[in-house]
Chain A
Amino acid sequence: QGQHVQSGAEVKKPGASVKVSCKASGYTFTTYTIHWVRQAPGQRLEWMGWINAGNGDTRYSQRFQGRVTFTRDTSADTAYMDLSSLRSEDTAVYYCARGSSGIPRDHDAFDIWGQGTLVTVSS
């Protein structure tokens, strides 16, 4: 069974950037797509996009296009999410999740989730 372990909670000021990591174990990292999903207080889960851990291809939700960047380090089986120009509305728990199909595509179910990283944006 696989597992994702994410980096710890962050507190950032408006306008700053945050980088969250997601270390995978228990499966072959490069054969799957890692998606990022966030959960703001009182809001439903929101999909942000994905990175193909094999070739590094990325796809971003239009809502975050231009503000978010996904990268990965295959030597460390780790994916990263970088979100810039933070505002208070970005306060949320950010999750990495594996696309269950193994196919690089937006519309997938998510079978392995990280524990979540709380990002708080406050002045």
Chain B
Amino acid sequence: DIVMTQSPDSLAVSLGERATINCKSSQSVLYNSNNKSYLAWYQQKPRQPPRLLIYWASTRESGVPDRFSGSGSGTDFTLTISSLQAEDVAIYYCQQHYSSPPTFGQGTKLEIK
């Protein structure tokens, strides 16, 4: 199984500032045939299910604010929130959708400083 490791485990950022979360996969999740990395990001607020934010490492899901962006390729990925809003407080998970079984990171808890 591909192991997904996120850093940091928790993060406190001031409102309006940039938040950056990292995710590393134990092997590449890049499909050479289409040059896409099969990496997704989810947001989970308390007592809610995960919400898909980004797939293929950088493609934003419909309806997701453009302050959320994803980058990276191969084994190293980043989720960036350009200007933190109060409603962004949540746990963020990465997930590889490259091979079976699909696996998730341990989560990064994002709070307001």
Write the residues of chain A forming the contact surface with B, with a CB cutoff of 8 angstroms: 44-47, 61-62, 95, 97, 100, 105-111, 113-116
Residues facing A in B65-97 (CB within 8 A) are 93, 95-97
Which listed residue (A106, A113, A114, A116) contacts B102, Cβ 8 A? A106
A47-B105 contact, Cβ under 8 Å, with A100-B55, A111-B52, A113-B51: no
What is the bound-complex CA distance between A110 and B104, given in angstroms?
A: 12
Instruction: Say which size band chain B's interface belongs to.
Output: 20 to 34
Instruction: Tell whether, in the assembled complex, residue A108 and residue B61 are in contact, meaning their CB atoms are under 8 Å apart.
Output: no
What is the bound-complex CA distance between A116 and B51, given in angstroms?
A: 12
What is the bound-complex CA distance between A105 and B107, given in angstroms?
A: 24
Instruction: Tell whether, in the assembled complex, residue B101 and residue A111 are in contact, meaning their CB atoms are under 8 Å apart.
Output: no
Which listed residue (A44, A113, A116) contacts B105, Cβ 8 A? A44
Question: Which chain B residues lie closer than 8 Å to A108 at the CB level?
Answer: 97, 102
Instruction: Tell whether, in the assembled complex, residue B50 and residue A109 are in contact, meaning their CB atoms are under 8 Å apart.
Output: no
- Minimum CB distance partner of B51 in chain A: A113
